[in-house]
Amino acid sequence: MPKDQGIGASTKRREDVRFLTGKGRYTDDINLRGQTHCVFVRSQVAHGRINAIDTSAAEAMPGVIKVFTSADFAGKGGVPCGWQIHDKQGNPMLEPKHPILAEGKARYVGDAIAAVIAETLEQARDAAEAVVIDIEELPAVVDMKAAVAGGALVHDEVGSNLCYDWGFIEDNKGAVDAAIKSAHHVTTLELVNNRLIPNAMEPRAAIGDYNSASDDYTLYTTSQNPHVIRLLMGAFVLGIPEHKLRVIAPDVGGGFGSKIFHYVEEAFVTHAAKVVGRPVKWTAQRSESFMTDAHGRDHVTKIELALDKDGHFLAIRTETYANMGAYLSTFASSVPTYLHGTLMAGNYKTPHIYVNVKAVFTNTVPVDAYRGAGRPEATFQLERVIDKAAREMGIDPIEIRRRNFVQPNEFPYQTPVAVAYDTGNYQATMDKLVQIADIAGFEGRRAESAKKGLLRGLGVNCYIEACGIAPSNLVGQLGARAGLYESATVRVNATGGIVVMTGSHSHGQGHETTFPQVVAEMIGIPEAQVEIVHGDTANVPMGMGTYGSRSLAVGGSAIVRATNKIIAKAKKIAAHLMEASEGDIELKDGKFSVAGTDKSVDWGSVCLAAYVPHNYPLAELEPGLEETAFYDPSNFTYPAGAYACEVEVDPGTGKVTICSFAAADDFGNVINPMIVEGQVHGGLAQGIGQAMLEAAAYDANGQLLSGSYMDYAMPRADDVPFYMVDHSCQTPCTHNPLGVKGCGEAGAIGSPPAVVNAVIDALQRGGHKHVTHIDMPVSPVRVWSAMQG
């Protein structure tokens, strides 16, 4: 019988009550006394020299308080990049300044050049139209290969558009080249991982507030990691010490990575609030989100897979061009490198792997982590090339994968690309997939589709991801400029209620439900007795935030540690109250008892004693019941799984319809199965969106053509099937106390190759043998054109 609370229960999401009844409190819902409004004047050209900015007409308009340009930020820093990559030769990446407002040149359509502060939003908008920018349009670079082949320079001062040329692992290259040269078979695939626009439901927003009495600042912002923003903005951009800067990220309506990063608008409103002496508010319009939220993916890759005559993988060699956009966003440099290269082994035993990545500046919106971040790019190329190899060698695509899996008895498994998988069972998830997707029944379904004149195809793939980001000592060696631990404070009140302050941030993940399940289980009290506080640097001691499927694995583990400290202290108090030895105290169902006796004291009494210490061992123990813990994982976690997609292709139009999608995931232990399924569903929808519909398009001049929902196709309910998801294959993580691996990104990582594999399968079975690859999105025109040859 399913549990009705605690670990393993599908507790309904408590936060949904306020979200679904319109009572959420988002940044734009906050209005401060005396607040002013900000509108940015943004570049309309992708690349241009700013000759002059005339703000006089705008400043004379009604309600205008001040118009800012880069001159107002003299002496302030640029927005920093949080991860330094070293190239093949060991040289640091090129790291041009990313100013708050454009200095000298504008580098993408949407680059902020000036900003108007006015009494009302309408006045600010009107005045923004009156700011005259004399800008001389320069040739733009959009195509990555052209950008490194001598196109216009995005940043003149660094002398090149090649941010870095990274080899991973450079010492492996000789062995990889040799293995490919002598292999029985080599499959080569060139592909594009299409550029995506994140489209969180809530656009970004920020409010800066400065208190002249105390000389401190408050920033309200749509962030996945307020403490990181505090550190980056305070230390690197504005020079505000952390104790004088409070960052609040209240309810946040979706992030998908795009709200990890420190954006210029945050620094702008914080600084401007002090200059004008009043709070400054900015909320992005949807059009602004399209052209300023960091985009995702945008890789162009060539991958080669060498195999022996039995289909065993011998070596993988890749060359990828990764678009950085016009400036380095906060984690942009890490996505195509350590979040991508380290995953190229996939679920397989490939002895030799070499990954080359060329990161390129172009006159486009900065590109950074988007749900999956590097791992979808790795998975897509690997699982596509395996499919192509299977077809070329006449081996069943499931069989060729099974033949190369890391076997259950081979963990921990050291890959040739730095990471070591702690645990997993890829045969088991594949077995589960074969069952839930009814692979055996495919031929029958294909025959049914054929009767309707439709080509049916089956696509299967596996994925693995490195989540629970990350061990600080490891990422530090790799160039990360931050630690990636998490902290938690568990505060027990006198009447037994608990407040958990976590550095993780919930913007859709359901932490307010899941984390209490863990604490309630550990103590044996009702979940309703536990409350979660997050998203405020003044209330939470420290935090690294939520991304990389790390909240439960890292943040949850910190909560477990803090709760264990609470339990240890509570046992001391209970021992004193019952005049027993601390070692004999047992905690079960919210009751402390002395082993082997009928003596007990309940949770509430112990909590009361801690705060009303009339009968208390004051000589040995401090009053109060509050503990803080930090947790830094010793390894990544490695969720993995096997996915299957069936499609029907209409040969007359090229239209692809997804008939079914099955996902067998191994997330280790699961705290709330319903929330896990919801996360998988959301991830699948985003992956299917990438595979079927979404593409950010630029013209040759760097104009964003897909800048609205008229031209950027998001998946809708009728674009996705009912999913079959299963997470019963559980190999618990071996190194965190909960045995959990993370589930937030899996669906988006694992699903794109399944869709494309299915489309190619449908066309191949339908006699279109020449079609071996179609780039995403697999739109009707692309599929139809491919069929025509």
Partner 1 sequence: MELKDSRIIAARPEDVWAAILSPEVLQACIPGCESITGTPEEGFEAVVVQKVGPVKARFTGVVTLSDMVAGESLTISGEGKGGPAGFAKGGAKVRLDPDGEGTNLSYEVQASVGGKLAQLGSRIIDGFARKLADEFFARLQSAVETPGAADATEAAESDADAAEGGEKKKGWFRRIIGA
Task: Point out which residues bind partner 1 (CB under 8 A).
Answer: 44-45, 109, 128-129, 287, 290-291, 697, 699, 701, 703-708, 710-711
CB of 55 to partner 1, least distance (A): 15
DSSP string, 4-39: SSSTT-----TTHHHHHTT---BGGG---TT-EEEE
Alpha-carbon span 598 to 604, nearest angstrom:
18
Burial (Cβ within 10 Å: 0-12, 13-18, ≥19) of residue 224: buried
Of 603, 571, 585, 589, the residue nearest 524 (C-alpha): 589
CB of 136 to partner 1, least distance (A): 12
Of 508, 504, 501, 490, the residue nearest 551 (C-alpha): 504
b/e code 773-786 from CB counts within 10 Å (16+ = b):
bbbbbbbeebbbeb
SS3 767: coil
Looking at the Cβ atoms of 290 and 485, the one nearer to partner 1 is 290
Of 681, 661, 682, 696, the residue nearest 776 (C-alpha): 696
How many CB atoms sit inside 10 A of residue 420's CB?
12
Alpha-carbon span 725 to 74, nearest angstrom:
54
Looking at the Cβ atoms of 45 and 238, the one nearer to partner 1 is 45
Looking at the Cβ atoms of 137 and 165, the one nearer to partner 1 is 137
DSSP-derived letter for residue 735 is S
CB of 701 to partner 1, least distance (A): 6
CB of 291 to partner 1, least distance (A): 7
Structure tokens belonging to residue 369: 């982590």
Looking at the Cβ atoms of 290 and 348, the one nearer to partner 1 is 290
CB of 199 to partner 1, least distance (A): 14
Looking at the Cβ atoms of 41 and 191, the one nearer to partner 1 is 41
CB of 698 to partner 1, least distance (A): 9
Looking at the Cβ atoms of 108 and 168, the one nearer to partner 1 is 108
C-alpha dist (Å) from residue 254 to 42, 260, 266, 389: 25, 11, 18, 38
CB of 287 to partner 1, least distance (A): 6
Looking at the Cβ atoms of 45 and 760, the one nearer to partner 1 is 45
Looking at the Cβ atoms of 45 and 519, the one nearer to partner 1 is 45
Looking at the Cβ atoms of 136 and 396, the one nearer to partner 1 is 136
Looking at the Cβ atoms of 308 and 711, the one nearer to partner 1 is 711
Looking at the Cβ atoms of 290 and 426, the one nearer to partner 1 is 290
CB of 255 to partner 1, least distance (A): 23
Alpha-carbon span 533 to 505, nearest angstrom:
9
CB of 254 to partner 1, least distance (A): 22
Burial (Cβ within 10 Å: 0-12, 13-18, ≥19) of residue 360: buried
Looking at the Cβ atoms of 35 and 701, the one nearer to partner 1 is 701
CB of 43 to partner 1, least distance (A): 9
Q: Are the CB atoms for 484 and 778 separated by under 8 Å?
A: no
Find tokens 């008939």 and name the residue.
659
Structure tokens belonging to residue 685: 């929808």
Alpha-carbon span 339 to 749, nearest angstrom:
12
b/e code 561-592 from CB counts within 10 Å (16+ = b):
bbbebbbebbbbbbbbbbebeeeebebeebbb
CB of 294 to partner 1, least distance (A): 17
SS3 319: strand
SS3 662: strand
**CA neighbours within 13 Å on the CB side: how many for 643?**
31
Alpha-carbon span 557 to 487, nearest angstrom:
9
Helix (H) or strand (E) holding 726: strand 723-726
Helix (H) or strand (E) holding 221: strand 216-221
Looking at the Cβ atoms of 101 and 696, the one nearer to partner 1 is 696
